[in-house]
Structure 1
Amino acid sequence: MTLANCKHCGILFLRGKSDYCSECQTSHDRMYMKLRDYVRSHPQSTVMDAHAKTGIPVSKLLELGSEEFTPFSR
C-alpha cells in the first residue's frame, strides 16, 4: 500500500486496489450498480438516456464506461 490522492475528492489515503478513498469508493460502487441495473433493463440506451433516468452525471457515466463496465460501446 502507498499513499495517494483520491481520484474524486483529492484526500490523501492509503491506496490499495482502488484509486478512491473509502467514502468515494462507496459512492462509485453505488453509481456503478445503478448504471449496471439500468443498462441490463435497457440495453439499447444511450449515455444521455442513462443520465436522464439515473441522475448520474455524464462525466461519471463516461468514466464508468471507460473502466471495467462498457455499456455504451455500441
Structure 2
Amino acid sequence: MDVRNCKMCGNLFNYTGSPLCPACNNKMEKKFSEVKDYIRENPTSSISVVSEEMEVPIQQLKRWIREERLSFSKESGVVIQCEKCGAPILTGRFCKECKRTMTKSLESLYSVNAAGSDRKKGSESARMRFIDK
C-alpha cells in the first residue's frame, strides 16, 4: 500500500495514481465541469478571462487542454504549441503532422520487427540441431 500526501490539502491518502486525495479530486472534477460549462456559454473568452472568472490557475487550464479534456474555440484566440515542432494547436500535445510522422515511424518499426521474426521462424539456419553421440 502506497500512502502519500495530497498535493492540494496535504492530507494522507492511499495513492491510486492521482496526486490528489479523493476529496480534492472530486473538488477538481467539479471545478472542471464548471469551467467546461463556462467555456460553452462564452466560446470567445480568452484563457486569462476564464482563469479569472472561474478562479482556476492558467497552468491547470493548460493541463486540461494538453490532456484533451478541454478545448477552446478558434475565435477565443487560445492556442498552445506542439511539443515536437512548436506549431500552434488547439488541444492535445502534438499537431496533426507530428502525430502522423510518429504513427508512421512506429508502424514501420513494428512491421520491420514482425517481418524479421517471421523470417527467422521459417529459415533453415534458425532450426535447432542435435548431435548424435
TM-score normalised to structure 2 length: 0.44
Q: Which structure has the higher relative contact order (CA within 8 Å, separation 6+)?
A: 1
Instruction: Supply the RMSD in Å over aligned alpha carbons.
Output: 2.4
Q: Which SS does the other structure have where 2:43 is aligned?
A: coil
The runs of 5 or more residues in structure 2 that have no matched partner are 73-78, 80-89, 91-133
1:19 aligns with: 19
**Which of the pair has more CA radius of gyration?**
2
- What does residue range 1-74 of structure 1 map to in structure 2 within 5 Å? 2-72=2-72, 73=79, 74=90
- 1:14-44 Cα offsets, whole Å, 9 max, x none, are 0114221022112111110011111122233
2:96 aligns with: none
Post-superposition shift, 1:50? 0.7
TM-score normalised to structure 1 length: 0.68
Q: 1:52 and 1:69, CA in 2 relative to 1: closer, same or farther beyond 3 A?
A: same
Q: Percent identity?
A: 28
Deviates more, 1:42-51 or 1:52-61: 52-61
The runs of 5 or more residues in structure 1 that have no matched partner are none
Q: 1:10 and 1:67, CA in 2 relative to 1: closer, same or farther beyond 3 A?
A: farther
